[in-house]
Amino acid sequence: MKSKLIFFIIIFPFTLSFFSCASHITQKKEKAAALKNLGEAYLAEGKPTPALKTLLKSEKIYSKDPFLHNNLGRAYLVKGSFDLAIKHFTRAIELNPDYIPAKNNLGIAYLAKGDWDTSIKHFKEASDNILYATPAFPLCNIGWAYFNKKEYDMAEKYYRKGLAFEPDFTQALWGLGRTYIKLNRASDAIHCFDKAIALSPASPLLYLDLANACELAGDTDRALITYKNLVQTSPGSPAAQIAKQKL
């Protein structure tokens, strides 16, 4: 009985120490998660600088959260620090190899750097995952990469693939319309821009591209009307400045 009591006295402090450490780790994770959530809220509000400051505080407390690194990558991406964005998106994928949004974001970072081929590689990894809920995003990003590579047939292929999943994806319609202009398919471009404008009527660039497509199609009357409307409705926009030169 005495030996059992001695054993209990020796072991019990270690047990208390174990639970104390576990509790401390839990508290650290909870504090880090709260900061991460606040940083993500700043990102959603379009405030990358306070987001970055908050997320870096979270990283100092607990650095093995893939969602934290994805958010850090997003913040650096918005601020134009593409290499740091790539670093954190890569770390997010290392911590969770099935984290598909981070793979898409990694592709966007390489896209922003103008590294079209590397971006396509990561976008394809994202789009090929059948569990990814929004494959239209990486597919259309591939379309944009091929557009910049001047491989317009491939750009059309991937924009159309993306639109098969999301027929009302404005960015994809805009990209496909611009691709059709490069392929001298003006009527197809006009169709894309008309649909995109119906979905996003406040975008000056869409009207500018629509007017360009109308010119290409030989419909100068509609082109002039579109240029004039653009100047009247968005007078301070860069697109309106270009439209003025057309009048």
Residue 197 contacts residue 212 (beta carbons within 8 Å):
no
> In the prediction, which pLDDT does 13 show?
57
What is the CATH architecture of 134-246? Alpha Horseshoe (1.25)
Tens-place pLDDT, residues 204-217:
999 999 999 999 99
CA separation for the pair 203, 100 (Å, rounded): 29
Domain 32-131 CATH (choose: 3.40.50.300, 1.25.40.10, 3.40.50.1100, 3.40.50.11610): 1.25.40.10
Confidence of residue 8 (pLDDT cuts 50, 70, 90): very low
Confidence of residue 12 (pLDDT cuts 50, 70, 90): low
Confidence of residue 48 (pLDDT cuts 50, 70, 90): very high
**131 has a pLDDT exceeding 60:** yes
List the structure tokens of 116.
């079209």
From residue 88, how far is each of 5, 45, 81, 102, 184 by CA, in Å? 52, 21, 11, 9, 41
**59 has a pLDDT exceeding 80:** yes
Residue in 123, 169, 115, 170 with CA at minimum distance from that of residue 143? 123
Residue 160 contacts residue 176 (beta carbons within 8 Å):
yes
Residue 52 contacts residue 39 (beta carbons within 8 Å):
yes
3-state secondary structure the chain: CHHHHHHHHHHHHHHHHHHHHHHHHHHHHHHHHHHHHHHHHHHHCCCHHHHHHHHHHHHHHCCCCHHHHHHHHHHHHHCCCHHHHHHHHHHHHHHCCCCHHHHHHHHHHHHHHCCHHHHHHHHHHHHCCCCCCCCHHHHHHHHHHHHHCCCHHHHHHHHHHHHHHCCCCHHHHHHHHHHHHHCCCHHHHHHHHHHHHHHCCCCHHHHHHHHHHHHHHCCHHHHHHHHHHHHHHCCCCHHHHHHHHHC
> In the prediction, which pLDDT does 5 show?
45
Q: What percent of the chain has pLDDT over 90?
A: 77
> In the prediction, which pLDDT does 18 show?
47
Q: What percent of the chain has pLDDT over 70?
A: 90
Confidence of residue 117 (pLDDT cuts 50, 70, 90): very high
Residues ≥6 apart with Cβ < 8 Å to 160: 176
Domain boundaries, the chain: 32-131, 134-246
Tens-place pLDDT, residues 189-242:
999 999 999 999 999 999 999 999 999 999 999 999 999 999 999 998 999 999
Residue 103 contacts residue 93 (beta carbons within 8 Å):
yes
Tens-place pLDDT, residues 140-187:
999 999 999 999 999 999 999 999 999 999 999 999 999 999 999 999
- 97 φ/ψ angles, rounded to the nearest 5 degrees: -60, -15
**72 has a pLDDT exceeding 90:** yes
> In the prediction, which pLDDT does 231 show?
93
Global confidence as pTM:
0.83
